[in-house]
Structure 1
Amino acid sequence: MKAKEMMDKDFVYVSADDTIEEVSIKMEASRKFTTPVIDSDKKLIGWITSFDITKGLRENKKFIHEVMSPKEDIKYMHENDPSRLAVLETSDSKLISIPVLDDNEVVIGVIRSFDIVNTLSSLYEVKVSKLYEAMEKQLKGVSWDELMEASAIISTRTTGQRIKPGEYERRIKDSTFGEAIWATGGLERFFVGLIAVGELVIARKVGKAR
């Protein structure tokens, strides 16, 4: 799944020259706690939160550009980035939401914690093997057996319990996404494990080619 498939297209955006009071009213009316700050071409130039608004009003600031976080200081994604990156970013950085940009750096959506939870809940009963099948398609040139070998190695490193590729394959065919999250100790650890598998299988592939 890509970021554009998870993002919320119904988002509020503001200008750096808008007044803090105007934006506070706009955010309250839309019930949004965060919003991107854009230029005349709708390109991302900053980010504003309800905390910034409150702080600005308390300090008698007038315009959004006085209190916003500039683009270089915020996390954002591009529409074709893997959606799992949003999960990792929100978890690692304790973010409420992340803006999504197209190839021209125009803001086209926002991924919120709610969107992530909503998407993951729909995947809860999906078999883990289906996730691996999707992974196999993304990692072109990598076979299913190579994925299972790498997964068994990562599992052994993580748990300290040796497991063969065949046994690992049997486990994921019987396990759901929800069960895997529980077994690995949380969503973040599950995705970190998947990323480690991808990195290892590619490294092994490159090593064999030399």
Structure 2
Amino acid sequence: MKAKELMDKEFVYLNCDDNVVEVSKVMEEIRRFTCPVVNDNKQLVGWITSFDITKGLREGNQKIKEIMSSYEEITTIHEDAPARLAVILTANNKFVTVPVINDDNQVIGMIRSCDIVELLSELYDIKVYKLYEAMQHQLKGVTWEELMSASALVSKKTTGVKISPEDYEANIMNATFGEAIWATGGLEKFFAGLISVGEMVIARKVGKARR
């Protein structure tokens, strides 16, 4: 899944010269804590949060450009980036929203933490092996046996406990996504483990090809 498949295309954007008081009313009406600030070409130039608005009202600021975060301070995600990157960004940085941009730096959507929670709740009861099947599909030319072998090695490296590829396979056949998140210590660690498995499989394939 790519970021653009997870993003919300319905969002409000602001202009640098918008009035702080009027923006506060809009954000309250649409019940949003964050909004992107764009130029006339819809390119991202700034970011506003409800905290910025509160501070701006208290200090008597008039324009959004006086209180917004600059472009350099904003964390974005490209529309074609893996959706899991958005999950990691929000988890690591406790973001409420991450703006999605295209090649022209135009804001085309928002990925919100609530969207991620909703998606994860739908995935919670999915068996873990389904995720590994999806990974195998993405890693062209990798067999299931190679994937399980790499997974067992990554598991040993992470936990210090040796496990055979066969036992690892049995575990993921029975475990759900929710159980796996709990067992690995959180969503970030679970996905980090999957990434490590993918990297190891590729490295081993390259090593064999060079022999």
Q: Which residue of 2 aligns with 1:196?
A: 196
Deviations 1:122-155 (A, max 9, x none): 0011111111111112222322222111111111
Q: Give me the whole-angstrom Cα distance separating, in 1, the residues matched to 2:136 and 2:61.
A: 52
> Residue 208 of structure 1: CA displacement?
2.3
The unaligned stretches of length 5 or more in structure 1 are none
The answer to whether 1:100 aligns with 2:100 is: yes
- Give 1:74's aligned residue: 74
Q: Cα RMSD over matched residues?
A: 1.3
One-letter amino acid of the structure 2 residue matched with residue 160 of structure 1: G
Write out aligned runs for 1:15-54 (5 A).
15-54=15-54
TM-score (norm 2): 0.94
Provide the rounded CA distance (Å) in 1 between the counterparts of 2:209 and 2:166: 24
Aligned counterpart, 2:174? 174
Determine helix, strand or coil for the equivalent of 2:162.
coil
What code does the residue aligned with 1:146 have? E
2:132 and 2:116 map into 1 onto residues whose CA distance is 20
In structure 2, the partner of 1:111 is 111
Give the AA of the match of 1:59: E
3-state DSSP of counterpart to 1:152: helix
Deviation string 1:30-82 (CA, Å, 9 cap, x unpaired) is 00000111111111111110011111222222211111112221111112211
Structure 1 residue identity aligned to 2:68: M
Q: Please report the TM-score for the alignment, with normalisation by the length of structure 1.
A: 0.95
Structure 2 counterpart of 1:165: 165
One-letter amino acid of the structure 2 residue matched with residue 189 of structure 1: K
Task: Write the distance in 1 (CA, Å) between the matches of 2:103 and 2:145.
Answer: 35
Alignment-mate amino acid for residue 68 of structure 1: M
Partner of 1:148: 148
Structure 2, unpaired ranges of 5+: none
Q: Which amino acid aligns with 2:141?
A: G
Give the distance between the partners of 2:3 and 2:128, measured in 1 at CA: 20
Residue identity opposite 1:66 in structure 2: E
Runs (4+) of structure 1 exceeding 3 A deviation are none
Code of the aligned partner of 2:96: I
1:8 partner SS: coil
- Code of the residue aligned with 1:24 in structure 2: it is S
Structure 1 distance, partners of 2:209, 2:56, is 58
Residue 125 (structure 1) aligns with: 125
Q: What are the superposed Cα offsets for residues 6-37 of structure 1, whole Å, 9 maximum, x if unpaired?
A: 11112111111112112111111100000111
Distance in 1 between the 2:145 and 2:44 partners?
A: 43
Task: Report how far residue 89 of structure 1 moved.
Answer: 0.4
Deviation string, structure 1 residues 74-113 (Cα, Å, up to 9, x no partner): 1111122111111110111111110111233221111111
SS at match of 1:172: helix
- Alpha-carbon distance, 1:179 to partner: 1.1
Matches of 2:95 and 2:136, distance apart in 1: 30
| Distance in 2 (alpha carbons) for counterparts of 1:202 and 1:38 | 40
